[in-house]
Structures are given as C-alpha cells and as structure tokens.
Chains A and B, each alone.
Chain A
Amino acid sequence: AQSVTQPDIHITVSEGASLELRCNYSYGATPYLFWYVQSPGQGLQLLLKYFSGDTLVQGIKGFEAEFKRSQSSFNLRKPSVHWSDAAEYFCAPDNGNQFYFGTGTSLTVIP
C-alpha cells in the first residue's frame, strides 16, 4: 500500500539553529514529492517540489530538500531557522493520480 510517514510529530529548535524534517514514502514508483507549510491561521503554501533531475531542490524561504531514492526519503532542511518558520509542515507525495499528505510535523521556534 502507498503511504507517507513523517516520524516527528513535533520539533522544537532555537532560532538560528539548523532544521531537518523527515519524510519517508512507500510507493510503487518514485512519486512526485512536495513539501507544504501551513502557518497558524493561514492556508497551505508550497515550499518546494521534486519531479526529476537534481535530487537537491531549493524552495522558498531558504528551505531545501534532498530526494534519496535508496532511502525513499525526501527530508526538508534549513540551515538557520527564523521565528517566522514556526508552522506545520506536510510532506505530500503525488503518485500521479492523487496527492496524499503525511501526518505533519509541528515546528516550534524558541528565541
């Protein structure tokens, strides 16, 4: 069965620290891969996407993600977190027919 896993339900980091949010998927073939962010009181926003080619993709707000086929992972990273990055982050593979969302990782940023 197809599935997506975000192992970390909640992460707390200090402002300025680095961040990595994990995402693992289980699909028959490599899906398209997306990361979305949902800020408090706001809608969902696309951070970045991977379709093919270079496995390290750059997104908005200084985020990047690396696709690792051998690990079926698409982890989201940021070198230096800002307080405004506090939000809920969703990994969302697309198997070509439908988008499915991971359970989400809630990020708290402390001063």
Chain B
Amino acid sequence: GAVVSQHPSRVICKSGTSVKIECRSLDFQATTMFWYRQFPKQSLMLMATSNEGSKATYEQGVEKDKFLINHASLTLSTLTVTSAHPEDSSFYICSAPDSGANVLTFGAGSRLTVL
C-alpha cells in the first residue's frame, strides 16, 4: 500500500534555530500534502495544505512566515519551523491522499522539542 515517510521522527533544538521536517510519498505521487500539528492529548489540527509547484494554503491563525512549506516535487514536501520557540514544541504529522483512493496516508510524525 501507499507509504508516507516522515523525517526526522524526533528532533530537539535550541530556541531561535530553525528545523526542517521532510515528508515523502514513497510509492505514489502526491500533488497535495497536508501538515497537521498535534498537542498532547488533543486532536490533529490542520496547519496547511501543501501544493506541488505552488504556494501552500494556510489555515487561519497559522503564521506563514513561521511555518514555511515547500512542495518542490511530486513526492516531497517540507515544513520548516523558523526561529523555533518552546511553544512550537509539538507533534507534527504530514499526510497525502492516495491517488485514486481518496484516502489519507499518514507519516509517522515528527516530535519537535524546543529547549
């Protein structure tokens, strides 16, 4: 079946630095990918929709300049958390629709801890 690989699975960084998270569709092409954020014991919150070859669509309240999304190819989307602060510590999950099945395949998630 469709597989989405997300890397890194865990990252710890200092406050003020930037962190990049990659999301790859391994055996299918994804013109669209979704980025979610999950706080402990809470639901997934859609942050943005990543579109291959064009600008991402951000949900209301999500800072575009803080969460930079690049969807440079049909199999790769990246999320860069710029100038990270402790409140950005969270679990970030990407997903991509399996072409033709209209079902989301999720990455395993990336846990970001900002010290």
Q: Which A residues fall within an 8 A CB radius of B?
A: 32, 34, 36, 42-46, 49, 51, 90, 92, 94, 98-104, 106
In the complex, B108 has a CB within 8 A of chain A? yes
Q: Which B residues fall within an 8 A CB radius of A?
A: 34, 36, 41-46, 49, 93, 95, 102-104, 106-109
Q: Are B43 and A103 closer than 8 Å at their CB atoms?
A: yes
B93 touches which of A44, A98, A100 (Cβ 8 Å):
A44
Would you list 9 pairs from A and B whose C-beta atoms are within 8 A, ordered by A residue? A44-B93, A44-B95, A44-B106, A46-B104, A49-B103, A92-B104, A103-B42, A104-B42, A104-B44
Q: Are B102 and A98 closer than 8 Å at their CB atoms?
A: no
CA distance A99 to B42 in the complex (A): 16
B103 touches which of A34, A42, A90, A100 (Cβ 8 Å):
A34
Q: Are B43 and A104 closer than 8 Å at their CB atoms?
A: yes
Q: Are A99 and B46 closer than 8 Å at their CB atoms?
A: yes
Q: Are A98 and B43 closer than 8 Å at their CB atoms?
A: no
**Chain A residues within an 8 Å CB radius of B41:** 106
Distance (whole angstroms) from the CB of B9 to the closest CB of chain A: 10
B43 touches which of A34, A45, A46, A101 (Cβ 8 Å):
A101
